[in-house]
Amino acid sequence: RIAYVNGRYVRHADAVVHVEDRGYQLADGVYEVCEIARGFIIDMKGHLDRLDRSLSELRMGWPLERSALELVMREVIRRNHVRNGLVYLQVTRGVSPRDHAFPTKPVRPALVVTAKRTDPRVSARKAEKGMAVITVPENRWERVDIKTIGLLPNVLARQAAVDAGAQEAWFVDPDGTVKEGASTNAWIVSKDGVLVTHPADFGILRGITRATVMRIAAEHDLKVEERHFTVEEAQAAREAFVTSATSVVTPVISIDGKAIANGHPGSIARSLREAFFAIAE
Ligand code: PDD
């Protein structure tokens, strides 16, 4: 495998960053994960627009011009022979002696790009099985709309899910409102067939897959409501599912051990997943 690190293509095993990289020491950086299907980067524009926003919220510049970054992403994908998989990119503020405040001397943002293959049959099998979800108290900061590499609450939430024999954890506010998963957006299908997901305000990450699913829903005359929903409403819903670049659309079959409907993946989630791959051509 080959990775791109600060201007060079290196063997994945030799891909390292400096110990004083501010991403390493302070999680002072942002990232994106894009899905690659049949050789295409899905919604690269959406991901790079969101990267632009994340960078500006951290008052950081682009490590390369946008068009050059696109070329690097394509080159990493090409060198790793990825037809189906993921491309990961991370931008940190750069290497500077440890200090919480921004470096006073100008530093070059550090850029890392990696790509890996995934087996579409494995993710298809996961989607056919559906996933079990647990809920955890929302304990993240308010700016989860920024895609930062500071993911400790997400890491702990996901591990809590794994420890419970589940695959994802949903962050829930004290009033029962479901926000989103550790690395996915959360959706339900209400009793009357309406797709419901948390509004893309400051309480969640504005998922790129979430936006694509909204477009697909509109094309299929499915109604979407961006509104709050509770764990209780989700447990009583007709269907539930998650979206992300890594999971695409994956049905949820239980929440905190309570089966959703008959405990099998729902038909709307399944058809949204199919429709997603149909436009990914
Ligand atoms: N996670 N919410 C959170 C907290 C996320 O980390 C992600 C993505 C999403 C879904 O966004 P998108 O549809 O743009 O992937 C929602 C990536 C995949 C990750 O951390 O691996």
pLDDT surpassing 80 at residue 280: no
Asked if 136 and 256 sit in the same domain, the reply is: yes
pLDDT digits (tens, 9 = 90+) for 33-48: 999 999 999 999 999 9
Asked if 74 and 141 sit in the same domain, the reply is: no
pLDDT surpassing 90 at residue 201: no
Asked if 144 and 103 sit in the same domain, the reply is: no
209 CA: nearest ligand 1 atom: 13
Residue 201 CB partners (closer than 8 Å, separation 6+): 145
pLDDT surpassing 80 at residue 281: no
Q: How many domains does the chain have?
A: 2
Mean pLDDT (whole number) for 195-204: 94
Domain boundary among 69, 86, 118: 118
Mean pLDDT (whole number) for 98-126: 96
Asked if 158 and 226 sit in the same domain, the reply is: yes
Residue-level pLDDT at 202 = 81
Residue 167 CB partners (closer than 8 Å, separation 6+): 131, 132, 133, 161
Residue 71 CB partners (closer than 8 Å, separation 6+): none
First to last CA, the chain: 26
Domain boundary among 77, 95, 118: 118
Mean pLDDT (whole number) for 219-227: 97
pLDDT digits (tens, 9 = 90+) for 117-173: 999 999 999 999 999 999 999 999 999 999 999 999 999 999 999 999 999 999 999
259 C-alpha to ligand 1 centroid (Å): 24
Residue 9 CB partners (closer than 8 Å, separation 6+): 2, 3, 75, 76, 79
Residue 129's domain comprises 123-279
Catalytic, out of 105, 129, 147, 258: 147
Q: Which of 30, 33, 204 to mutate to test the pocket of ligand 1 (most atoms within 8 A of CB)?
A: 33
Give 278's pLDDT tier (boundaries 50, 70, 90): confident
